[in-house]
Amino acid sequence: MLVRTRLLAALTGATLAVGAFGAPAVARTGPADGPTDPGAFVASYVPPEPVPRGEAGLRLPTSYPYQPDLRVYPANERDATERNGTVSHAELAPRLTRLMDRSDRVSTQVVGQSTEGRDLYLVTVTAPERRSETARQAAWRTEIRERPDRAARDGALRAGYKTPVWMSANIHGDEWEGTDAALRVIERLATADDRATRETLAHHRLVFSLTLNPDGRTHATRETSLGLDANRDLVTLATPEARSYVRTVQAVQPLFAADFHGYTDVLQVEPAGPPHGESYEYDLLVPHAYAIARQVEDDVAAADIAGNTSYDPDTGDAVEEDTGFVKIPYRDTPSGWDDYPPVFTAQYASLQGAVTSTVELPLGRTGPTTTRADSAVDTEVAVTTMTSMIDYVHAHSDAMLANQVEMFRRGVAGAPKVALTTRNVDGVPGPDEWKRHWDRADDQEPVRLPRAYVIPAGPGQRSASDAEDLVDALLFHGIEVGRLAAPAHLAGTGTTYPAGSYVVDLHQPLRGLASSLLGPGSDISAKVPAMYDISAWSLAALWGATVERVGATTDGPVGRTVPVGAGRERGGVPDGQPYVGFDLAGVADQRALNDLLGQGVAVRLTADGGAVVGPRGHGAAHDVAERYGIDFTAASRAAWAAGEPAEDLTIAYVGDQDDRLSLLALGFDDLVAVSARGIATSAAAGRPTGLEGADVLWVGSSLDLPAGSAGHAHVRSWLRDGGAIVGRGAGAFAAAESYGLVSGTAVTGEPAGNGIIETDTPGDVLDDHPQGQGFVYPAVWFTGLGPGTTAELTYGSFLAGHWSASEDGDGPEAADGQIAAVSGKMGQARAFVFGTSVFFRTHPRGGLSQAGTAIHWAAS
């Protein structure tokens, strides 16, 4: 065990005058620094294409220092950082350039761009490395992950590996001070010549993501400029900011990672509170995570930072006097704080092999920002916290590295998953103060890992395109996926999977992440009274593809597979066929349909849920087949003749970013934002309302236009001319009911209830490609349907998530058997209303395709 010297005394409170570094080197000039209205970017956003297979992940430098020219951004005149005295994004490149000019310890890499195009910086501070040394570090990093048995025996690795410590900040744009603290720590590390600093940089790479959401930092918004919270997006990956985070954690493979947030009145340092997710190797994570939190607690108390608050364990309040405590959720929060879903930075990084912590800085906002005095305190607290964490890892990296190697070993070996419970906590090695706080509420639920998840090819697959998109997502997350080289027959089951089926074998380094992404999850409603965020997210259940659990982790392989990693197969169109078609089962199919219609190609929708293209559309069919990976098949002239002509639709919508982004993801690019107030005032004044050229009105929130008003009459007239209402929730039902398109009662379940629920498809609109699960947050169901209102979906059992009934009886038992979606008609007008949350954060892709089908049905 190395004897390591602490940095805290040297770093805490140290500030460098950046002006002393000289003028910045301006190599390139960036574009004007973006508008201050983030909604402008939502309005112009086009969803990214599926991530190409084989795309290289983030590549770290081949030697250190790595000091490129950085693009310099002009200052934004209305930058939110002016209000609290924190560092603007425009200042970062000049400051980093000055640091690189002065110090060979500092490297800066641009690891992506924000939604508005601002560079995302990854700063590494370490002792310089020659190319051969950096190559050796990279080889050791791979050995730890891919060959952990060997790594555990590799004495040279244990002695020479520079364990990475990663500090990230500002993924919530209006939580600023982690960025400023990181700069302070970087500046001190870059120039200090004391023994502790030299020793730390010789044994570690200290890595900093200065701002994960620079657009939000500039505009004082929590969300990115798409209106999405990137710290809820680590599974779905709808934002470029979240995708950059995932690429960074994969490349760095941190031993410890901390993400800095605010504001909770008192410093809050994880580990997180129960319930603890089933997929985490918690015996390898919580001992050091808790010990780090406790060291931070002691160091912050000892620093005696003027203006800082303390935690009163007797009252649970933040107090001004120094109690010696900060808030540690695992110890101090009874339930529901962060731990369960991997949608957050720290929880996601835990599944990539890191001990992690979310840090909440104490002093809160006043209005849209914090005060300068509050920011100064929060920055000082964050500097002390970062330095304390680095000190801890420096002193304990041998034991922490052994745990990381063991985590990957369990995955590669396919070891049975052992739940951490009150029965076995005493036997966990390492720091043990955490053990006295573990109780039955903390117990991990047992999980029986399958040998593999299989994504079948051929007739057993609900949606070939959704299956391909699911595989692309898994590969992006770093999950190993194979493809059957020959049919695989499972002995004793009667099941044969065709060649070409995808196999996610859980004998792999990231088996915890794979299990978390694909596993069904658990119903934890009885485990804790409330949850901080969603409690279920399974890609296997919600992304539209058929995915099957196979065997147990101790079973043999499913069959002979070849790794998937090459470019995604392009779709094709059969030659010599006058009519060709494809199934409208998945999101890519919906996009292909809307692309063809946008090009003016005649497409007809068939009664069995397909689309047929005639002879004049073959050129366009070839293009979309390649673009979306769609395989067309031969179709008959009779199918063409019997089909319903599809239209290139213009959709007016009432709702939020989830509605707009989901519609765009489906390929509906002619969108018009409307509101009840806008329709009412414009109709009363005889001005255009936005509905004039629309074919469908999507209602994602509410459309409250009183009967007899000019606005109500205007919508009624538009419906008589063939308009349609489609939407989600009680607001959409009320809108459709107010025009006689449906009738009955909409019942909303417990508002916080969320998760995965069984669904059945008794109606005709969605029955061609039915799905057995849906997502709700909350669930809405419909009772007492009147004549002409048809049940299209029904609910079954609640499968996974957190949904407790209130005194109103609005729990999952009340929803079981109820109607989950309805349709209706009146004259030329049609309506379709979902009670499921089909557009939630653009996540449930199976729900997106259902919505696309309903929209085209309603418009026909």
**3-state helix/strand/coil string of 669-701:** CCEEECCHHHHHHHHHHCCCCCCCCCCEEEECC
Over residues 464-471, mean pLDDT: 95
Which of these, 62, 88, 115, 381, lies nearest to 224 by C-alpha position? 115
Q: What local confidence, expressed as pLDDT, does residue 365 receive? A: 74
- Using alpha carbons only, what angle is made at residue 389 by residues 83 and 107, rounded to the nearest 5 degrees? 70
Residues 381-404 have pLDDT tens digits of 999 999 999 999 999 999 999 999
The model's pLDDT over 711-735, given as tens digits with 9 standing for 90+, comes to 999 999 999 999 999 999 999 999 9
Can you tell me the mean pLDDT for 7-30?
34
Confidence of residue 14 (pLDDT cuts 50, 70, 90): very low
At residue 38, the pLDDT reads 42
Residue 568 pLDDT? 65
How far apart CA 837 and CA 819 sit, in angstroms, is: 14
Least confident of 39-48, 77-86, 204-213, 658-667: 39-48
Task: Compute the distance between CA of residue 142 and CA of residue 138 in angstroms, rounded to an integer.
Answer: 6
3-state secondary structure of 29: strand
Q: Which structure tokens are listed for 337? A: 């704080």
In tens, the pLDDT along 820-848 reads 999 999 999 999 999 999 999 999 999 99
pLDDT at 849: 98
Q: Which residue has the tokens 């090695």?
A: 429
pLDDT band at 492 (very low <50, low <70, confident <90, very high): confident
Of the candidates 121, 131, 114, 153, the residue with the CA atom closest to the CA atom of residue 62: 131
- What's the whole-number average pLDDT of the chain? 93
Residue 775 has pLDDT above 60, yes or no: yes
**Residue-wise pLDDT tens digits, 333-372:** 989 889 999 999 999 999 999 999 999 999 987 666 678 9
- Determine the pLDDT at residue 419: 96
Q: Are 285 and 353 in contact (CB under 8 A)?
A: no
pLDDT of 680 strictly over 90: yes
Q: What pLDDT is stored for residue 371 in this prediction? A: 87
Which stretch of 43-47, 285-289, 671-675 has the lowest confidence by average pLDDT? 43-47
Neighbour tally for 550: CB within 10 Å: 22
**Residues 10-27, mean pLDDT to the nearest whole number:** 31
pTM of the predicted model, to two decimals? 0.94
User: How far is Cα 126 from Cα 856, in angstroms, rounded to an integer?
Assistant: 57
pLDDT at 603 over 90: yes
End-to-end alpha-carbon separation of the chain, Å? 73
How crowded is residue 136: how many other Cβ atoms within 10 Å of its Cβ?
17
> What mean pLDDT do residues 538-563 have?
96
pLDDT reported for residue 44 = 54
What pLDDT is stored for residue 493 in this prediction?
A: 83
10 Å CB burial of residue 384 (0-12, 13-18, 19+) is buried
Please count the other Cβ atoms lying within 10 Å of the Cβ belonging to residue 763. 18
* Contact (Cβ atoms closer than 8 angstroms) between residue 439 and residue 475: no
Share of the chain above pLDDT 70, in %: 93
The whole-number pLDDT of residue 366 equals 66
Residues 6+ apart with CB under 8 A from 23: none
| Tens-digit pLDDT profile for residues 417-440 | 999 999 999 999 999 999 999 999
Q: Burial level of 415, CB count in 10 A (0-12/13-18/19+)?
A: middle
Q: How confident is the model at residue 85 (pLDDT cuts 50, 70, 90)?
A: very high
273 within 8 A of 333, measured Cβ to Cβ = yes
Query: Mean of the pLDDT values across residues 59-68?
Result: 97
Q: What would the two tokens of residue 99 be?
A: 């640091």
Percentage of the residues of the chain whose pLDDT score is greater than 90: 90
Structure confidence by residue, pLDDT tens digits, 293-349: 999 999 999 999 999 999 999 999 999 999 999 999 999 998 988 999 999 999 999
Higher pLDDT, 364 or 104: 104
Q: How far apart are CA 542 and CA 194, in angstroms?
A: 54
Confidence of residue 48 (pLDDT cuts 50, 70, 90): low
The tens digit of pLDDT for each residue in 141-172 reads: 999 999 999 999 999 999 999 999 999 999 99
Q: How far apart are CA 558 and CA 491, in angstroms?
A: 10
pLDDT band at 30 (very low <50, low <70, confident <90, very high): very low
Write out pLDDT tens, residues 192-231.
Answer: 999 999 999 999 999 999 999 999 999 999 999 999 999 9
Mean pLDDT across the stretch 640-665? 97
**Measured distance CA(268)–CA(264) in Å, rounded:** 7
Sign of CA dihedral 130, 120, 285, 180: positive
Q: Which two tokens stand for residue 97?
A: 């350039």
Compute the distance between CA of residue 128 and CA of residue 110 in angstroms, rounded to an integer: 19
Phi, psi at residue 522, to the nearest 5°? -135, 155
Bridge partner list, 358: 259
Q: Is the pLDDT of residue 850 over 60?
A: yes
Residue 29 binned pLDDT confidence (cut-offs 50, 70, 90) = very low
